[in-house]
């Protein structure tokens, strides 16, 4: 079935079954590599992207459920919040293996788009569903806080 997906402002015509997870369409048909397959069950957050302002798990969201633009980390140069997060994550050396980082940044962007000055607890709560097996959580928290300062 032909489905049109809007990803980072660009249209993609994708020939795909409607129940196919968005993650597969992004990676296989839309040249998106930042969203990662981790658990495939909505539990780890590595596949997180933003649709209509909300961070969603693309591994458990069928393409047929998507209406509106999908934002991924590939758009960071055009997005002030993602750009600040990218710079801050590098400055704080927040990535170890880096597998989870795009998902972390998308959840953080979703938070910062709604709340320009979140508390530590609000940041922790927003990133609660994003798991990092390397355990760089304290650096990730510092990086989000640095991005908040940068955006102030």
Binding interface with ligand FES (CB under 6 A): 37-40, 42-47, 57, 59
DSSP-assigned letter for residue 54: E
Q: Give the distance from CA 40 to its chain's centroid.
A: 15
Question: What are the two backbone dihedrals, phi and then psi, of residue 30, each rounded to the nearest 5 degrees?
Answer: -125, 15
Computed on alpha carbons and rounded to an integer, the radius of gyration of the chain in Å comes to 15
Residue closer to ligand FES (CB basis): 27 or 147? 27
Compute the least distance from the CB of residue 119 to ligand FES, in Å: 25
Residue closer to ligand FES (CB basis): 24 or 83? 24
The candidate with the shortest Cα–Cα distance to 137, out of 152, 118, 119, 124, is 124
Question: What are the two backbone dihedrals, phi and then psi, of residue 47, each rounded to the nearest 5 degrees?
Answer: -95, 10
Residue closer to ligand FES (CB basis): 36 or 148? 36
Compute the least distance from the CB of residue 42 to ligand FES, in Å: 5
- Nearest position to ligand FES, beta carbon: 59
Residue closer to ligand FES (CB basis): 8 or 58? 58
| Strand duo 54-57 + 48-51: pairing | antiparallel
Record the tokens describing residue 43, joined without a space: 């539990």
Compute the least distance from the CB of residue 19 to ligand FES, in Å: 16
Compute the least distance from the CB of residue 50 to ligand FES, in Å: 14
């Amino acid at each position: 079935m032909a489905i049109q997906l809007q990803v980072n402002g660009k249209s993609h015509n994708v020939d795909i079954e409607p129940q196919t997870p968005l993650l597969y369409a992004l990676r296989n048909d839309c040249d998106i590599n930042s969203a990662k397959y981790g658990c495939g069950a909505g539990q780890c957050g590595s596949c997180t992207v933003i649709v209509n302002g909300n961070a969603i798990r693309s591994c458990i969201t069928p393409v047929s459920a998507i209406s509106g633009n999908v934002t991924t980390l590939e758009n960071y140069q055009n997005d002030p919040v993602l750009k600040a997060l990218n710079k801050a994550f590098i400055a704080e050396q927040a990535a170890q293996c880096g597998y989870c980082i795009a998902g972390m940044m998308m959840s953080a962007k979703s938070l910062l788009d709604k709340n320009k000055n979140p508390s530590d607890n609000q940041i922790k709560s927003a990133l609660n569903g994003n798991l990092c097996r390397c355990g760089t959580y304290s650096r990730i928290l510092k990086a989000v806080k640095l991005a908040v300062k940068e955006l102030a």
